[in-house]
Amino acid sequence: MRKSVSNILKGTFLVNDDAFKNWRMILFISSLAFVMIASSHSADKKVHKIARLNNEAKELRSAFVDGRKKLMELKKESVVELKMKEKGLSISEIPPTKIKVKSQN
């Protein structure tokens, strides 16, 4: 046991006659580690992108609600009447009448 630990610390297992098996395993484990690190970074990027898009969606939704609220306020008859009084127009005292056209058929 003590000899195997000292061999690992000295690195003699890498230069033995059957070291090719050890190098293959080391390269395989190293490549798996690189793939795992790359996958982790890719997942982190996606999580950050999703969070950014969610915030942007919330901002756009609140802007839409604000715009709709302003539009509903501007469509009120009292607001329209005030805007028209500023331009010199007023509401007619005579109610509108229907015009009926008979077809010539």
Name the residue with tokens 């604000």.
66
pTM, 2 dp: 0.57
Q: Say what the pLDDT of residue 40 is.
A: 97
pLDDT tens for the 105 residues of the chain, in order: 777 788 778 777 777 777 777 788 889 999 999 999 999 999 999 999 999 999 999 999 999 999 999 999 999 988 998 999 999 888 888 988 999 988 877
Q: Say what the pLDDT of residue 25 is.
A: 86
Other beta carbons less than 10 A from residue 7's beta carbon: 13
Q: Say what the pLDDT of residue 32 is.
A: 97
Q: Say what the pLDDT of residue 73 is.
A: 94
Other beta carbons less than 10 A from residue 29's beta carbon: 10
Contact in structure between 22 and 14 (CB atoms under 8 Å):
yes
Q: Using alpha carbons, list the distances in angstroms from residue 26 to 16, 19, 64, 73, 80.
A: 15, 10, 57, 71, 79
HEC sequence for 38-49? HHHHHHHHHHHH
